[in-house]
Amino acid sequence: MNPSAVLTTIREMARNGLGAPILLIMMLAMVVLPLPPVGLDLLFTFNISLSLIILLVVVYSRRPLDFSIFPSVLLVGTLLRLALNIASTRVVLLHGHAGPGAAGHVIEAFGEFVVGGNYAVGLVVFIILVIINFVVVTKGATRVSEVTARFTLDAMPGKQMAIDADLNAGIITHEEARERRAEISREAEFYGSMDGASKFVRGDAIAGILILFINILGGLTVGVLQHHLPLQEALHTYTLLTIGDGLVAQIPALLLSTAAAIIVTRVSSAQDMGEQVLAQLFGSPRALAVTAAVIGLLGLIPGMPNFAFLTLAAVIGAAAYWLYWRGAAAAAEAAAAAAPQAEPAEPRDLSWDDVQPVDLIGLEVGYRLIPLVDKNQGGQLMSRIKGVRKKLSQELGFLVQPVHIRDDLELAPNAYRISLLGVPVGESVVYPERELAINPGQVFGTLQGIPAKDPAFGLEAVWIEPGQRDEAQAMGYTVVDAGTVIATHLSQVIQDHAHELLGHEEVQQLLDLLARTQPKLVEDLVPKTLPLGVVLKVLQNLLAERIPIRDMRTIAETLAAHAPQSQDPGVLTTAVRTALGRLIVQHINGMSGELPVITLDPALEQILHQSLQASGEGGGGMEPGLAERLHGSLAQAAQRQEVNGQPAVLLVPPQLRPWLARWLRHTIPGLNVLAYNEVPDNRRIRVLATVGQA
């Protein structure tokens, strides 16, 4: 029969859902129906082949999840082997008196050839195989499965929070976050299944021991009492058959146990197991050289097998020399490629090209952080910053300018500094060889490391060794690497200063983009109705209060409608905020139909109105004691809202909103100041607190 036709038939059966039922029927048939010796030979050969295939698939898998069906395959392989044990036991007991070939050539070969026809030797070999399988491989794999499953489940919350942190920092997209969450779920399910599947392997090893003694006693009883064989002949015949049957079953069992042990001890990598062994075990010329020296010294001792020791020492020494020579050559090539080409200095006159403009967004790093931004050294910070720019550009509504990165020898080795328009706005210290464990508010233990604070949000954190990552995640910490810390800090700085990054060129680009779909609107707005500078100021005001400018159509239509009455940027900003009220409220409170708010007492509102009228828009006429009490009351109310898991919203009259928003923007960062006319009609208002009541 053509092998390709057989594979095609098997695939069609599996695709139609017939594979599993047919396999179960076959196993039941082996248990119930007697099999001829030829059938046993084929099935035993298939069992050995299947076990070898499974082991090789495990060895060549780059990570455990590449063979996620392994627990189910392990169970099926175990059941198949037990069904074969039952079938072979039936044949041995029924026809064993006819001689060693009565149960098939496979069992005969293992009983005669493998152990030399000596049932005492066969019994010893079988016991050794069982001890190796049960005591060493299976027991170790079971323990590793239990520990890995527990730590995987304990680390799931921390891994999920790390994904959320990368998503918020713009390092990954929503699709990548979804894939990583799904992979974490698959990993937990896989190790949980392996924890249970390892129990089947352990039970199979115990069953092999019991089946051996039952078959020997049963064969002696049948041979002596029913077939009247001499005791010596019955002992020899049935013991050899039983030993052959046991060895045929235990070798696939050992292969599957080894596969289970390998897959639960594997670490995800871009290499298969063979490549990892060559790279990590035999990749150090120093270790090979020392080993060659020790083996060579042993080979010089009189009485030792000198030829074997000295030959092996020479081979290992040659391998060490070859690895050293190859590493030195690679290092020389890398140094030659990295060496700058010397160019003759040519004196020239100064020009305006020598006057460099300030960078809109700059990142300066100490010399120990250079590997983070150097792609040749595996640095990922450049790609993460690109992801931050992409995410913020989509959220804010305009293209965030590139980040210019350079090293600064005046900084501390592990320090970095973020600057906007040439002015430093943030700096911190990171440790590239460590990871930052951030306390999100509730953790279950303390970590050893370097105490620090998250530079983006000011949370308590600890710089830990990479080996403590799983422990920290199990305690509830969010663990990120140094590159993610810098990228998240940069993202937060850009969001806080987005209004400073928006200029005339960016606004003109936004208008040109809008003109593709709304040409008449843009033509009537700029410059007929409003100058470009006024539109720029309105957009900067919106960004300063963290309102995205993605909806340029609504913004432009509102400006065009209100510009004939006033061209004051503050008045126009108020009108645009009213038009964007639904977006603003949704950004604060999501899709909830009820908006919890904090209000001011009417008497306090009247006092603030009088203060504004007396001092203009600056609001500086308010009595200092009143300002301090008002600020303290609002801060306490906002803190209560934050503790309750609700947004802090101060609802005030439209005349007071701009002044209060400017005053409270930096002193109470979590407080959102809304005007009455900015709340959409479909949102219910629930007053939680009134500030200023006696």
Which are the contacts of 47, defined by CB distance < 8 A and separation ≥ 6?
A: 77, 80, 81, 84, 248, 249, 252
136-158 mean pLDDT: 73
pLDDT above 60 (res 177)? yes
- For residue 501, the SS3 value is helix
pLDDT above 90 (res 363)? yes
- The residue that leads in pLDDT, 274 or 298, is 298
* Sheet hosting strand 594-600, strand order edge to edge: 671-675, 648-652, 594-600, 684-691
The answer to the question of residue 168 being in a domain is: no
- Our CA angle for 76, 77, 81, nearest 5°, is 115
What is the pLDDT of the chain when averaged over all its residues? 82
Looking at the structure, do residues 490 and 511 belong to the same domain, yes or no?
A: no
Which are the contacts of 595, defined by CB distance < 8 A and separation ≥ 6?
A: 585, 588, 589, 649, 679, 683, 684, 685, 686
Of 691, 651, 685, 692, nearest in space to 671 by CA: 651
pLDDT of residue 289: 83
List alpha helices for 339-380, DSSP H: 370-373
Dump pLDDT digits (tens) for 455-475: 998 899 999 999 999 899 888
Looking at the structure, do residues 509 and 462 belong to the same domain, yes or no?
A: no
d(CA 277, CA 60): 12
Which two three-digit tokens encode residue 122? 């066969």
List alpha helices for 564-650, DSSP H: 569-579, 581-589, 602-615, 624-643
pLDDT of residue 119: 66
Dump pLDDT digits (tens) for 364-404: 999 999 999 888 887 888 889 999 999 999 999 999 999 99
Dump pLDDT digits (tens) for 206-251: 777 777 778 778 888 888 787 778 877 777 777 777 777 777 877 8
The answer to the question of residue 530 being in a domain is: yes
- The residue that leads in pLDDT, 459 or 161, is 459
**CATH number of domain containing 361:** 3.40.30.60
pLDDT above 80 (res 54)? yes
The answer to the question of residue 8 being in a domain is: no
pLDDT of residue 80: 83
pLDDT of residue 463: 95
Looking at the structure, do residues 481 and 401 belong to the same domain, yes or no?
A: yes
pLDDT above 60 (res 341)? no
Looking at the structure, do residues 230 and 295 belong to the same domain, yes or no?
A: no
The answer to the question of residue 18 being in a domain is: no
Dump pLDDT digits (tens) for 99-139: 666 666 777 777 666 556 666 777 777 777 777 777 777 77
The answer to the question of residue 654 being in a domain is: yes
Which two three-digit tokens encode residue 172? 């990954």
Contact at 8 Å (CB) between 686 and 594?
Answer: yes
The answer to the question of residue 21 being in a domain is: no
Of the three residues 524, 546, 579, the one that is the final residue of a domain is 579
Looking at the structure, do residues 368 and 433 belong to the same domain, yes or no?
A: yes
**CATH number of domain containing 678:** 3.40.50.12790
Of the three residues 525, 557, 579, the one that is the final residue of a domain is 579
Q: How many domains does the chain have?
A: 5
Q: Which range, of 3-7, 324-328, 622-626, 635-639, averages the lowest pLDDT?
A: 3-7
Of 548, 569, 587, 561, nearest in space to 674 by CA: 587
Helix, strand, coil percent values for the chain (each to nearest 5): 65, 10, 25
Looking at the structure, do residues 599 and 682 belong to the same domain, yes or no?
A: yes
The answer to the question of residue 29 being in a domain is: no
Looking at the structure, do residues 638 and 682 belong to the same domain, yes or no?
A: yes
Show the domain range for 445: 357-499
Query: What percent of the chain has a predicted confidence (pLDDT) above 90?
Result: 33
pLDDT of residue 693: 64
pLDDT of residue 260: 80
pLDDT of residue 578: 94
Dump pLDDT digits (tens) for 647-671: 999 999 999 999 899 889 888 888 9
Q: Which range, of 9-18, 137-146, 461-470, averages the lowest pLDDT?
A: 9-18
pLDDT of residue 271: 54
pLDDT above 90 (res 205)? no
Looking at the structure, do residues 667 and 679 belong to the same domain, yes or no?
A: yes
310-319 mean pLDDT: 85
Looking at the structure, do residues 609 and 678 belong to the same domain, yes or no?
A: yes
Alpha carbon distances (Å) from 515 to 509, 524, 525: 10, 11, 11
**CATH number of domain containing 538:** 1.10.8.540
Dump pLDDT digits (tens) for 426-447: 999 999 999 999 998 888 888 9
561-575 mean pLDDT: 93
The answer to the question of residue 346 being in a domain is: no
pLDDT band at 343 (very low <50, low <70, confident <90, very high): low
Looking at the structure, do residues 43 and 128 belong to the same domain, yes or no?
A: yes
Query: What percent of the chain has a predicted confidence (pLDDT) above 70?
Result: 87
Of 122, 127, 104, nearest in space to 36 by CA: 104
pLDDT of residue 342: 45
pLDDT band at 618 (very low <50, low <70, confident <90, very high): low
Phi and psi for 60 in degrees, rounded to 5?
Answer: -90, -5
pLDDT of residue 265: 74
pLDDT band at 270 (very low <50, low <70, confident <90, very high): very low
pLDDT above 90 (res 596)? yes
Looking at the structure, do residues 528 and 389 belong to the same domain, yes or no?
A: no
Phi and psi for 246 in degrees, rounded to 5?
Answer: -65, -40
pLDDT above 90 (res 507)? yes
Of the three residues 547, 579, 611, the one that is the final residue of a domain is 579
Length of the chain: 694
Of 673, 492, 686, nearest in space to 584 by CA: 673
CA 571, 572, 574, 575 dihedral sign is positive
Looking at the structure, do residues 237 and 306 belong to the same domain, yes or no?
A: no
